[in-house]
Structure 1
Amino acid sequence: MTGVFIFILIIFIASTLQTSTGFGFSIMATPFLLLLFQPAEAIQINLILSLLISIALIWKIRESINYELMRKLIAGSLAGVPAGLLIFKSIDDLTTFNIVVSIILLVLTLLLILRFRINRTPLRDYLIGGISGILTTSIGMPGPPLLLYFTGTDTKKEVLRSTTLAFYLFIYLISLITQLIFTGTDSVIWKSSLYAIPVVFLGLLAGQYLFNWVNQRIFTIFTYFLLTFTGLYLLINSIFFR
């Protein structure tokens, strides 16, 4: 029962953050799902639920999407997806996998706190899409490079949320299909995803309320806290409680 409660809590918080920030589900859900499931299971549950969230939200936020940027991200991600799958299949140690995820989160957070800045260029748009594609199929987290890039270019939170959700709709679908074909699946993944659907929709409602209330400064501070907490928790748990 404790595991079920933790699972529900993870999904609710992550879906709330996804709706209110545009990136929170994979960054929050994947590290903590790794504490309950094997990597392939955690990643596929994340992909299924993230895809569901993107489908549910895309119509409402479509007007804020930067379609030109989204097309470049998608084009770049097509090269990253197979590379990410190769990385995932080469990692056979759960502890190593968790440590890699935590380090990515902590490095991202440090760059954000140091106010990393970068100018947008077409080449960088494609490159970020490629990196996001790699991270999606390898660890189920396309958000970190997008968040860093959009924050570094001072992208408004409305555009950040809508464009990333639109991009997720594509990258999660492609990554899920790739995972199913090359790594397989099991009943635990689909049963867990099915049970989580009502919780996801409750989180969506809560997240929409938060999005209308949170200003840019609070949004930034909360981003730092979320990334730091998740990264440190996963790193400490992987090293000292394996």
Structure 2
Amino acid sequence: MAALICGIAGVVRGFSGFGSAMVQMPALTPLVGPSVAAAIAVMFEVMASIQSVPGAFRQANWRAILPMAAAALIGIPVGTVFLVSIDPVIVQRTIAIAILISVLIIASGFRYSGQPNRATSLGTGLVSGFLTGIGGIGGPPVVIYFFSGSNKASINRASLIAYFGLTQAVTVVAYWLRDLLSVEVLGLGLSLIPVFYLGLLLGSWLFARVNEHLFRRLILGFLALVAVMGLVI
């Protein structure tokens, strides 16, 4: 079951770019617990983005990224503390609610209408960092924020990759310090990487051949279903 979940997460990541944790956290948590599910999600995200980070660093909008990353440095450790100290059922429900809200916002087509500034960048980074620390699901606030501006799509994409590269590195350190990346967890994550990677390849293949809008709606519907299951299971 864990392998199937990770494979589906890879397909979602490869096709849509949504963080694989949005699938893995609510689906894997009942099987292995939130802390192990979060650690595996972070491992997968690092693997999925490591090849694209160097090129993205050259194109990224660092003026927007740096305040967000600075705030995320605070949010990630706080989220990690919640992950390891709060009742796992509460963590599971919190993550499911956050994913469900993110799916509804993305599906509605909402765009932030204000002008990006330091205050909104710091706020977005803080929320994203907390969600990253508690379950690796810090992507939606940043995606919505970046794509509300007037920058080219290529710059936004590079900025997202660079931001997530930085925050994932910080999350790995935070998880390591909290003993979330034990030998057993690393072994489990490594054993599941091949099926996740196959999912990534399949997702990328589908992106080039399937109607994007239809498949994206199906993915959003699937993510909403997974989040609801995380609330009731």
Give the superposition deviation at 1:214. Answer: 5.5
Residue 157 (structure 1) shift: 6.8
Quote the Cα distance in structure 1 between the aligned partners of 2:41 and 2:151.
Answer: 26
Query: Which residue number in structure 2 is paired with residue 126 of structure 1?
Result: 122
What amino acid is aligned across from residue 107 of structure 1 in structure 2? I
1:36 and 1:175, CA in 2 relative to 1: closer, same or farther beyond 3 A? same
Give me the identity figure in percent: 26
- Equivalent residue letter for 1:136: T
1:96 to 86, 90, 112: 90
**Divergent runs of 4+, >6 A:** 60-64, 154-157
Aligned mates of 1:214, 1:109 — CA distance in 2:
21
Q: Given the alignment, which residue of 26, 35, 53 partners 2:21? A: 26
In 2, Cα distance between equivalents of 1:218 and 1:62: 32
Structure 1 partner of 2:31: 36
Match of 2:173 in 1: 177
RMSD: 2.8
Post-superposition shift, 1:11? 1.4
Stretches of structure 1 that go unaligned for 5 or more consecutive residues are 1-5, 238-242
Residues 41 and 188 in structure 1, CA contact (< 8 A), matched pair in contact too:
no
Displacement, 1:174? 0.9
Aligned partner of 1:3 in structure 2 is none
Structure 1, 95-104 or 50-59: larger mean CA deviation: 50-59
Contact 1:20 1:207 in 2 (8 A): yes
TM-score of the superposed pair, with normalisation by structure 2? 0.83
Distance 1:30 1:235, change over 3 A: same
Distance 1:54 1:78 in 2: 19
Q: CA deviation at 1:166?
A: 2.7
Give, in angstroms, the shift of residue 189 of structure 1: 0.8
CA distance in 2 between partners of 1:99 and 1:106 (Å): 10
Q: Are 1:189 and 2:185 counterparts?
A: yes
Residue in structure 2 matching 1:112, options 86, 103, 106? 106
Between 38-47 and 184-193, report the one with greater CA deviation: 184-193
Residues in 1 aligned to 2:24 and 2:135: alpha-carbon distance in whole angstroms: 11
What are the within-5 Å matches in structure 2 for residues 64-75 of structure 1?
Answer: 65-75=60-70
CA distance in 2: counterparts of 1:60 and 1:200, whole angstroms: 23
Q: For structure 1, which segment, 30-39 or 201-210, has the greater mean C-alpha deviation from structure 2 after superposition?
A: 201-210
Of the candidates 223, 227, 232, which is equivalent to residue 231 of structure 1?
Answer: 227
* 1:76 and 2:71 matched: yes
For 2:122 and 2:210, locate their aligned partners in 1 and report how far apart those are by CA, in whole Å: 30
